[in-house]
Amino acid sequence: MILSIESSCDDSSIAVTEIDTYKLLWHKKISQETEHSRYGGVVPELASRLHAVALPKLLEETKPYFPEIKAVAVTNRPGLGVTLMEGIAMAKSLAAFLDIPVIPVHHLKGHIYSLFIEKATRFPMLVVLLSGGHTMVVRVEDFDTMEILATTMDDSVGESFDKCAKMMGLGYPGGPIIEALAKEGDENRFELPVPLRNAKEIAFSLSGLKNAVRLSIASLGGAERMSHQEKCNLAASFQKTVALHLLQKCKKLFVREPIEDVALVGGVAANAYLRSRFDALCSETGKRLHTVPLRFCADNAAMIGRYAIDAYERKAFVSPSELDMETTRKLRPDTLL
Ligand code: KG4
Ligand code: ZN
């Protein structure tokens, strides 16, 4: 079995996965959303202190599995330095105590492997990764070969949902709140600019759209003066524009790339509206869409454990003293290093 730990942002999570069968034997997550919501975003120092309380609580429950654990996997990059440290420190001491190796896991590869939780891998795959920290399309050939085909020039999609919600005084995380309001709204009420609509390059940009949302709020006299219905309309218009932008750029890639299997992963992939729009795009471009069960879209240790199985089989592990943290939030543009 592999015990995996995730603490790259505001979710403390631990999982135990069986190596031979991929079976998820144990998995729990303690989210810090309530604690961060009054600040409208994640406060790293607070997140770190909450991990220091939550992770040992979770670990305590996994004790019965300790005799069977062959390696400890942990997210070591990218993420918030002070929160990654909590998981890494725990992984190092646990591995040293059990005298087993540590598997360092790249968080985004974890999201990609969320597709294969309790399943065999399926490659090649064109993966659209939409999270709070990243927005990219990755061509995944196999475990070692992953190439970033397009990425964001500024904000990530999740971040833009969060900021949009914050500007309307709606709380954190913004994604689920915006999605819920959008269901009651008129998506054509606000005319927002589709980012990079006339640009040839295949890239994403969300900061201009965020600014357009800010100006719309200002034109209505500020968030305090907006009615509930106006907030729903703006949420729906924003979500529609995000979808138009993502779909316009992804369509070019889907047409260009011969790979038939396409996947949507990351926290934002829980959005039902975006899922249905991608579903339609895949039908139009002759692709097969793969999605992740809702509970594994946002950060979790199950995906870290699933990636770790493939890493373990390749002996891609280190001794506890060799494990380091890498907080390269902005990754190299062409590869997932
Ligand atoms: O993957 P994730 O849990 O963390 C990172 O690795 O960043 O993604 C978190 C992001 C947040 O920005 C959150 O607002 C967004 O995912 N999110 C959503 C939805 N659920 C979560 N965005 C849009 N619609 C949703 N239903
Ligand atoms: Zn994530």
| pLDDT tens string 244-273 | 999 999 999 999 999 999 999 999 999 999
Which residues of the chain does CATH 3.30.420.40 include?
Answer: 2-117+296-322, 125-291
Q: How far is the CA of 298 from the centre of ligand 1 (A)?
A: 6
Q: How far is the CA of 158 from the centre of ligand 1 (A)?
A: 5
Structure token pair of residue 178 = 């915006």
Alpha-carbon distance of 137 to 151, in angstroms, equals 7
Alpha-carbon distance of 163 to 155, in angstroms, equals 10
Q: How far is the CA of 109 from the centre of ligand 1 (A)?
A: 16
For the cut 60, the answer to whether the pLDDT of residue 327 exceeds it is: no
CA torsion 90-93-95-96 (nearest 10°) is: 170
pLDDT on residue 329: 45
For the cut 80, the answer to whether the pLDDT of residue 178 exceeds it is: yes
Ligand 1 mutation target, pool 268, 292, 303, most atoms within 8 A of CB: 268
Q: How far is the CA of 97 from the centre of ligand 1 (A)?
A: 35
157 Cα nearest atom in ligand 1: 12
Whether 68 and 317 have beta carbons less than 8 Å apart is answered as no
Query: How does residue 335 score in pLDDT terms, banded at 50, 70 and 90?
Result: low
For the cut 80, the answer to whether the pLDDT of residue 17 exceeds it is: yes
Confidence (pTM)? 0.95
Residue closest via CA to ligand 1's atom 19 equals 175
Residue closest via CA to ligand 1's atom 22 equals 175
Structure token pair of residue 128 = 């659209």
Q: Average pLDDT for residues 214-231, to the nearest whole number?
A: 97
Residue 153 DSSP symbol? S
Nearest ligand to the CA of 172 is 1
Alpha-carbon distance of 129 to 257, in angstroms, equals 16
Nearest ligand to the CA of 296 is 1
Q: How far is the CA of 230 from the centre of ligand 2 (A)?
A: 31
For the cut 80, the answer to whether the pLDDT of residue 161 exceeds it is: yes
Q: Average pLDDT for residues 184-195, to the nearest whole number?
A: 98
Q: How far is the CA of 98 from the centre of ligand 1 (A)?
A: 35
Residue closest via CA to ligand 1's atom 3 equals 298
Residue closest via CA to ligand 1's atom 2 equals 267
Q: Average pLDDT for residues 147-151, to the nearest whole number?
A: 95
Ligand 1 mutation target, pool 131, 164, 294, most atoms within 8 A of CB: 131
Q: Average pLDDT for residues 165-185, to the nearest whole number?
A: 96
The string of DSSP codes covering 163-211 is HHHHHTT--SSHHHHHHHHHTTS-TTSS--PPTTTT--S--B--HHHHH
Nearest-CA neighbor of 133 among 118, 152, 150? Answer: 152
pLDDT on residue 41: 84
Per the prediction, the chain carries an average pLDDT of 95
Question: For the domain with range 125-291, which CATH number is right: 3.40.640.10, 3.40.50.2020, 3.30.420.40, 3.40.50.300?
Answer: 3.30.420.40
pLDDT on residue 337: 61
Element (H, E) at 251: helix 228-256
Alpha-carbon distance of 161 to 166, in angstroms, equals 9
Query: How does residue 326 score in pLDDT terms, banded at 50, 70 and 90?
Result: low
Residues having CB within 6 Å of any atom of ligand 1: 9, 131-133, 158-159, 161-162, 173-176, 179, 266-268, 270-271, 298-299
Identify the residue whose tokens are 């996947």. Answer: 263
All residues with CB under 5 Å from ion ligand 2: 131, 299
Total residue count of the chain as it appears in this document: 337
pLDDT on residue 40: 79
The architecture that CATH gives domain 2-117+296-322 is 2-Layer Sandwich (3.30)
Bridge partners (DSSP) of residue 289 are 262
Ligand 1 mutation target, pool 11, 161, 295, 299, most atoms within 8 A of CB: 161
| Window from 32-41, 56-65, 173-182 with minimum mean pLDDT | 32-41
Strand 146-151's sheet: what is its strand order? Answer: 146-151, 135-140, 125-130, 261-265, 288-291
Q: How far is the CA of 191 from the centre of ligand 2 (A)?
A: 31
Nearest-CA neighbor of 335 among 178, 141, 169? Answer: 141
